[in-house]
């Protein structure tokens, strides 16, 4: 199986479980969440975690999300937040972005 670089935006229950699973399979996973608690917990199984506002396209560009193989949006705040993040990722050229 080809090893991938995957971004996961939202490290709540689903996002952190997926991040841990993918990491255990040997994929490189970059986790982003607005909560310092969520990023702190994810540091146990991810080498790269960032506390940041993923609705800000500048942040996503700085983290080079356009260079990743896949991006998963797992934000439970609101549908609008998820849509905004996905639109920003698509405008950056991310081929596989979704929630």
Q: Taken in order 8, 40, 84, 62, is the CA torsion positive or negative?
A: negative
Are 49 and 75 in contact by the 8 Å Cβ rule? The answer is no
Q: Can you give the pTM of this predicted structure? A: 0.91
Give residue 97's pLDDT. Answer: 52
pLDDT average, residue stretch 60-75: 94
Torsion of CA 50, 54, 60, 66, to 10 degrees: 110
pLDDT in tens, 76-91: 878 999 999 999 999 9
Annotated domain spans of the chain: 5-92
Just give the CATH number of 5-92: 3.40.50.720
Q: How confident is the model at residue 99 (pLDDT cuts 50, 70, 90)?
A: very low
Strands laid side by side in the 48-51 sheet:
48-51, 28-33, 5-9, 70-73, 97-98
């Amino acid at each position: 199986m080809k090893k991938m670089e995957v971004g996961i935006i939202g490290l709540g229950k689903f996002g952190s479980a997926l991040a841990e699973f993918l990491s255990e399979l040997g994929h490189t996973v970059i986790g982003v969440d607005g909560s310092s608690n969520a990023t702190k917990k994810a540091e146990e199984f991810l080498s790269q975690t960032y506390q940041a506002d993923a609705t800000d396209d500048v942040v996503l560009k700085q983290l080079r999300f356009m260079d990743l193989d896949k991006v998963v949006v797992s934000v439970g705040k609101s549908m609008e937040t998820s849509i905004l993040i996905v639109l920003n990722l698509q405008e950056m050229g991310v081929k596989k972005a979704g929630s």
